[in-house]
Structure 1
Amino acid sequence: MNEGSPADLPDDWSVSFFDDGFAATFGQMGRYDSTADEVDEIASLLGLPPGARILDVPCGFGRHAGPLDACGYEVVGIDMAPAQIEEARRRWPGIEFSVGDMRQPPEGPFDAVLNLWSSFGLLPSAEEDLQALAAWRRVLAPGGSLLMHLTTLERAQLRYRRGDELVSVNTAEVGGVLEETHCDWSTGVI
């Protein structure tokens, strides 16, 4: 393994990565500009009546939970990063947000579970990813929906890989922020 590769990260890397500067940095990069359209698409895909219970996991700073709550849904958000939960509570004080592990969601039942913005596959192992899926299934109401936003290894390869290298490193400046992406093709870790 190359020194400094994503596979060298500690299991709790996300707590420090999603710190209090994360939202501001990604906001400057324009990554949240489509939030209103995304919320409209989520509501359309789910087709749930007002009052339906939705679990947003991980919820980050509540960028989807807040607007969905404003649409009349009862939203609960959990995230491992205390800074994100603190910001979510500040922005939307009427919503239940808590620091928590996606493998241990709050008690349901929920009419829908949302896992958005390619937030699946962040756990230390595939077995733990499966634990999260099983936990979400347990808290879904009968007939409830799991809505996930995912990317694929093939899509990442088209975007980042330039040959047959084992690790691709790409840098781009977006909105004045320098972003560096490391893609380890042998492990599938980005």
Structure 2
Amino acid sequence: MARVVVLDYGSGNLRSAERALQRVGAHVEVTADAKAAREADGLVVPGVGAYAACMEGLNSVRGARIIGERLAGGRPVLGICVGMQILFERGIEHGVLTEGCGEWPGTVERLEAPIVPHMGWNTVRAPEGSQLFAGLDKDTRFYFVHSYGVRRWELEPAEHIRPPLVTWADHAGDEFVAAVENGPLWATQFHPEKSGDAGAQLLRNWLTTLS
């Protein structure tokens, strides 16, 4: 049974994530303990609310360092919602710029759509070869709740390095990054823990990478 830590840094649907992971067969611990977070088979970084508040909470438990140490060792990390957003370089909310973890270049900014927040079920466009969306068809819907997102993918391709797989979604004509698969670092803008059977399949797919 895979051992998963849901990082408790004061933000996120901790118990929802815990229950969803338990239902698909993981042994789950919700904790801010750095040793447990580093040593678990998989680390889940949730997040809800404001980007700046999430980064403040993450920094309070040295979360960016924990994430970096895991990735340096090739150990899987899954970011969810704002837990995905803080993996990028920066977020801008109400004119305030906050530095993120910087695992990917790019800016989290307000969606440019007539109706914000983007709330409810939506399809995504996953690239060919995606492990995250294996077993799910193109009409599968996932549950989103957000007003901000990454609207431009800024990581330039590099020779001899496999590029990340980027999944996109559209809200009222505005495209944004819905998920990323980048070696041991995966992330979703939507909430798999609130996405029913589809979310459960996605979490199972992530668990297969933990062995």
TM-based fold match above 0.5: no
Larger Rg: 1
The structure with the largest strand share of the pair is 2
Name the TM-score, length of structure 2 as normaliser.
0.29
The structure with the largest helix share of the pair is 1
